[in-house]
Structure 1
């Protein structure tokens, strides 16, 4: 019968349907079967840009019409530190080969760092170098790695300077100053009413001991530096009980040769305040006295003491 469809015909028709549906997919070759394009042909599509160093990754890679992870992968030689580095771009999928792109991470400006530790420091007779701390944002900078320090005028009392110069990830330099001051030391004055001698000491214990032995404690005579470039030697004459003070090492040595006892450096002389010395030509013991009071200096001269001028120096309160 004409309406009867044979099994063979059905099978034939089904085969054609299957072929019609599968043919488009068969005509498209898989990626592995196609000739791949060299990623270098897309070099102009890639933009690799470095930023400014701040301790974090500072480089980005973009490519027009290409997708990272599908068409390419990228590996940065160094994404953090300042300098010129290489980005290695490797083709994926329909692309093959390796493309190199250079980028630059700019160094940070060390002049924008915050510096601390520039407080006043005490004079020591040697070069003084305060401990400084530099921070840049959240980063703590390392001396010798991120910056160097050069000190100047840092041995004498006065204004000292330090130059900070960036290195490694930092560039440029800047100057800062700090003050070197004398450490203050009190000089006490005592009076021996039996011998007429005045004794000067920086030792609180000696001051108290002499007071218990009958010396009159006259309080603080002046503020002395501790130390300075000018030591004051104290010598004792065991034959008459007198003390002598001198800044001359030569005089000190001559008196020691004459059997005076050296008591060493008892205080120092320096500063802007004059300390006057007077000589009593009528006394055998206690022939000299020191004072910072101009009125005392003049009044003693009125009763026969000889004014010898400012022989020592002391510190004002603000020095």
Structure 2
């Protein structure tokens, strides 16, 4: 028996990664698996993980059983079991300490991707928590603690990307969780993947709207329809001026996104994954107001993005953006 404690889930994409590791475990070991799921947390005040995401992305079957928080036997040990802490981004310090305190033994720690932030360092983690509203000294203390835990406690990384010398490669075993989807027929549409910059206070509503207007105009000039795929943490209806796509599934598994001739956006995990895993035509667009975020990327983050995505194109330069869109078709 393998008992897996799943911690740190903040998005449906995290469940895709977790489900991929669990299916790999079931395929390569004969033991039954019990998953103690600790539930999902919020991002920018919203819990973006629905019950249907749990049912769809975590495995089900005679050899696996899910025990959510509140289940009568949640966390109950089983004699002779192997214990694993499956954690998103970095080892969950609190879940790890609770397991050790309760059962007096150390669990195996497996870390799955959180997103592009996973490939950063303590400084990029600190800056991310600052952008989400954290006040010093807590972002620095938290970043240092998490980075130390990642270095000391992690037994295995189930990472989508692996550095091979100066290059990066997609790890097929991890990518399998995303490549099982059938790609739809391509449509002459450009899909913009938004980020919650407005909600994070990094960009005003008017500035973001003007940016999208510039991108939409360039797409039209390149002969492409324009659609917006909002970030799950954003309120619906913000992009009603354009075709606003649903976001019930991760972008990497969404047929509306996968059907687009090109995907666009600022630096984001979904944009990277669509290009690297699915081979989608992808284009980064830049805003002067967010240039400081580009310069604040860690070395691994920058080289990973550059490995699979072209250099950012300024959205305000319509002719350059139109030319880039046309050349990506």
Q: TM-score, normalised by structure 1?
A: 0.24
Quick check: which one's helix share is greater? 2
Larger Rg: 1
Quick check: which one's strand share is greater? 1
Higher relative contact order (CA 8 A, sep 6+): 2
Q: TM-score, normalised by structure 2?
A: 0.24
